[in-house]
Structure 1
Amino acid sequence: MSTQYLDATPPHTPGADLPEHPDFLWRNPEPKKSYEIVIVGGGGHGLATAHYLARNHGITDVAVLEKGWLAGGNMARNTTLIRSNYLWDESAAIYEHSLKLWETLDQDLGYPILFSQRGVLNLAHTLQDVRDSVRRVEANRLNGIDAEFVGPEDVKKLCPIVNISDDIRYPVLGATYQPRGGIAKHDYVAWGFARRASDAGIDLIQNCEVQGFETDGDRVTAVRTSQGTIGAGQVLLAAAGHTSTLTDQLGIKLPLQSHPLQALVSELLEPVHPTVVMSNAVHVYVSQAHKGELVMGAGVDAYNGYGQRGAFHIIERQMAAAVELFPVFARAHLLRTWGGIVDTTPDASPIVGRVGYENLFVNCGWGTGGFKVTPGIGWCLAQTLAKQEPHDLVEPFGIERFVSGVLVDEHGAAGVAH
């Protein structure tokens, strides 16, 4: 069940009501010779799509192929922020649809995902930040999304540890605030989707790396993998930062670039940070996980690459920014750092839909916004595959927009794009 709190201890006691060991949550079958639908990518989006194919459409002749272990890529490497307060109608619609699903997801999956609706603050540090923030709040309200602009004193009430003094580099002039935003436990989300999909009869195949494709005319007929060739009626590529390496094998060039994205966590601390705080100017975002560690991240690294660890200078900048906004963090110790691989497009919006072949679909380009849209995109992709036409909420994100010029440009429109 969703939980709201601002001035209280996070609603989870370590060790209480934890799920059973994940080894027992799903089957580990050998792949069949063919499936009605093959999903490449066993992360959050692939698993959610599989779940909703079974739940909403009764389609269970499905395989989810994962080259490593389920949800071991970006799903295990993100910072779990959930919100829907994007500027443009198209983006706001898909993220709000997802947020509504998040609010009942633990009931749907029959599994605790620890969704904590503690609210999300996006700080404004300049007059232009204030203007942009107010514009976004008004756009959100027109779309029926909970949003408000709050002043520095209200920021302090919502998050007492924020430094709102006027003698710092980037003084806090206010913030957008979405009360329904928050965080969830990413591992539990993945395990919940995987269990339900497996129970429905969908095959989740780990350590199954895609090595190529077989085609016949305008159709992809099979996927060649490290566990043999698997025939496919339809193929969905949901491999996040590695999507372009797959489409390259089919001769399809997508407007994608892959970048490392770094984050870090502190040692375990007593509850001190009751909400989520993001800052575009200082470029850091911080929340406190259920166990107590501070979770921090920043923007993508400037270079292209597939590394899953980052450089020290990025971490150093993140920490300097965090300590400026939260002086209480100055004595916290860094516990670990990691990186994910994000795929970005020219307009900072995803590519979703059919590409190149009659039965080939892609879901990619979510950049740093992939986790929060997990249930929503799974729902929409399941309908797209089941009905062979794009769901209304993903239709604006077809690759055709790069020809028509009808872009959904989210560069900076929603602050730090996490």
Structure 2
Amino acid sequence: MPLRLLKFGFSNKYPEPRMFRQPDRLKSSYDAVIIGAGGHGLAAAYYLARDHGMHNVAVLEKGYIGGGNTGRNTTIIRSNYLTPEGVKFYDESVRLWQDLAQDFDLNLFYSTRGHFTLAHTDASVRTMRWRSEVNKHFGIDSELVDADAVQEACPHMDITCGGQAPILGALYHAPGSIARHDAVAWGYGRGADQRGVEIHQQTEVLGITVESGRVTGVETSRGKISTSRVLCAVAGSTPRLLDMVGLRSPLYIHPLQAMVSEPMKAWLDPIIVSGSLHVYVSQTARGELVMGASLDPYELHSTRSTLDFVEGLAAHMLELFPFLSHVKVVRQWAGMADMTPDFAPIMGKTAIDGFYLDSGWGTWGFKATPVAGKTMASTVANDRNHELIEDFSLDRFANYALVGEKGAASVGH
């Protein structure tokens, strides 16, 4: 660490201000309580205060800011989905992403790279063409390209994948980007705090009080709160919170793992995704390769990482990039992916008045952070589902009105 930075850190003359306050105690009542201080919860708090004038808001977090799936993902941002509902929703998110750094006055390391979803079979090529046409219909920059275009964009790739699964083409999405996940959480947290929102870390929710079908309060490890609005944004912990209000959902929880390599000279500009090989990879500004795969095949409420995952992902990475055989893996992690049967989120009002749900994000929640926060803030403030999330309501499963996003949301991240 440079001596100049150490001198600044220990200096009393130029103290660095805290990112946000740490309230000493909970107030007895709030206009709204948000459970979960990840990207979605903090974004909702930020937009509630900024756009709807709701400042008497508490965000409750059992652990620490960004300690859940917000800090346990691979930071890929895109909008090349398959269904009209998904395309419109994520396209609005990409638009919001582009202005976030300016909104926060904080460097989010947002970097537009281009996103290749590889096709290894004729069936995959047909699916990529289908997705491309849907995207173009809604004005999304997305096109089917051949193997030569993939090779030109990434000359280091073995286009034959060791002869096991040759690349026939890809869906190319030029706006595909990455950003720094912890900066996003802290940016939304600071913005909400500056507008009067209280963020309470190390505060566990023990119960939610419901009277005559309406939310009236929240019981926490630090006392009781009166409120008429509660937003649940806790990803893999959603089933436990739903039990508190007597609601059921079709969510099932699977671990989703990722890993990162040692830093190296920049060589991979685009984001590369292969559903057939269960690989997605990008390179950070520091030169690390951030890599992920598909969900672990078992249901488990755990963030434990495994050697089996590293071995499997490393083998597939070497099929694409054989020259990486000497590169070291320096760390790995896991998140709890809350999956839905149709691979689309569950958002909006519920059968309990005043209880709102932001869940079912599976493997695609980070890219939706801005639009999820903005639409949920509108829903909470107006007690009416925002138009962009009307098709994502919990009751679609009872009404057999599933969205069907699996073709574009499973391993594409």
Compute the TM-score of the two structures, normalised by the length of structure 2: 0.94
Q: In structure 1, what is the Cα distance between the partners aligned to 2:16 and 2:74?
A: 21
Q: Equivalent residues in 2 for 1:68-83 (5 A)? A: 68-83=63-78
Identify the match of residue 81 of structure 2 among 70, 86, 91: 86
Q: Alignment partner of 1:123: what SS?
A: strand
- CA offsets, 1:221-267, max 9 Å, x none? 11111111111120000000101111112221111111110000011
Q: Which residue of 2 aligns with 1:273?
A: 268
Identity %: 44
Compute the displacement of 1:414 (Å). Answer: 4.6
TM-fit CA distance, 1:101: 0.3
SS at 2:369 equivalent:
helix
CA drift of 1:404 comes to 1.8
State the SS of the aligned residue for 2:31. strand
Say if 2:149 is the partner of 1:180: no
- Structure 1 residues 246-325: aligned runs within 5 Å: 246-325=241-320
- Partners of 1:304 and 1:102 lie apart in 2 by 32
The one-letter amino acid paired with 2:357 is V
> Is 224-233 or 157-166 further displaced after alignment?
157-166
Q: CA deviation at 1:79?
A: 0.6
Are 1:43 and 2:29 counterparts?
no
Q: How does 1:265-414 map to 2 (within 5 A)?
A: 265-414=260-409
| Structure 1 residue identity aligned to 2:18 | F
Letter in 2 for 1:286: V
Spell out, residue by residue over 1:243-299, the C-alpha distance to the aligned partner (whole angstroms, 9 max, x if none): 111111222111111111000001111101111000000111010112111100011
Contact 2:280–2:412 under 8 Å retained in 1: no
Q: C-alpha offsets along residues 384-407 of structure 1, whole Å, 9 cap, x if unaligned?
A: 111110000001000121122111
Offset from partner CA, 1:275-331 (integer Å, 9 cap, x none): 100000011101011211110001111111121122221221111001101112111
Shift of the 414–262 alpha-carbon distance from structure 1 to 2, 3 Å rule, reads closer
Distance of 1:35 and 1:358 partners within structure 2 = 16
Letter in 1 for 2:20: W
The one-character-per-residue Cα deviations of 1:28-81 (angstroms, maximum 9, x if unpaired) are 112111100000000000000011111111111111100001111111111100
Shift of residue 166 of structure 1?
7.2
2:21 aligned with 1:27, yes or no?
yes
For 1:130 and 1:239, the matched residues in 2 are separated by 36
Question: 2:171 is paired with a residue of what secondary structure?
Answer: strand
Distance 1:413 1:153 in 2: 23
> Aligned to 2:229, what secondary structure does the other structure show?
strand
1:64 corresponds in structure 2 to 59
TM alignment of 1:168-207, pairs within 5 A: 168-207=163-202
* 1:187 counterpart SS class: helix
Whether the 8 Å CA contact 2:161–2:319 is kept in 1: the answer is: no
Q: 2:9 corresponds to which residue?
A: none
Identify the residue that residue 8 of structure 2 maps to in structure 1.
Answer: none
CA contact (8 A) 1:147 1:179 kept: yes
Q: 1:21 to 1:236 in 2, by over 3 A?
A: farther
Contact 2:144 2:172 in 1 (8 A): yes
Unmatched 5+ stretches in structure 1: 1-14
Opposite residue 355 of structure 1, the aligned amino acid is: T
- Look up the equivalent residue of 1:230 and give its one-letter code: I
**1:163-242 matched pairs, under 5 angstroms:** 163-165=158-160, 168-242=163-237
Unpaired segments ≥5 residues, structure 2: 6-13
Q: Provide the rounded CA distance (Å) in 1 between the counterparts of 2:300 and 2:222.
A: 27
Q: Which 4+ runs in 1 deviate beyond 6 A? A: 20-23
* CA drift at 1:23: 7.8
Check whether the contact 2:343–2:409 (CA below 8 A) recurs between aligned residues.
Answer: no
Structure-2 change in CA distance of 1:50 and 1:109 (3 Å): same
Aligned-partner Cα distance in 2 for 1:311–1:70 = 25
Amino acid at match of 2:165: Y
CA distance in 2: counterparts of 1:128 and 1:22, whole angstroms? 55
Q: State the distance in 2 between where 1:167 and 1:25 align.
A: 49
Question: Pairwise CA RMSD of aligned residues?
Answer: 1.6
Number of equivalent positions: 400
Which is richer in helix?
Answer: 2
What's the CA shift for 1:111?
A: 1.1
Contact residue 349 and residue 383 of structure 2 kept, 8 A:
no
CA gap of 1:105–1:136, structure 2 versus 1, over 3 A, is same
Residue type of the alignment partner of 1:107: Q
- Contact between 1:22 and 1:191, CA under 8 Å: does it hold in 2? no
Give me the whole-angstrom Cα distance separating, in 1, the residues matched to 2:136 and 2:275. Answer: 22
Deviation, structure 1 residue 24: 0.9
Question: For the structure 1 residues 167 and 110, does the alpha-carbon distance in structure 2 shift closer, same or farther, using more than 3 Å as the test?
Answer: closer
For residues 66 and 193 of structure 1, what CA distance do their matches in structure 2 show? 15
> Quick one: distance in 2 between partners of 1:42 and 1:291?
27
**Equivalent residue letter for 1:81:** I
Query: Which residue pairs with 1:121 in the alignment?
Result: 116
Secondary structure (helix, strand or coil) at the match of 1:241 reads helix
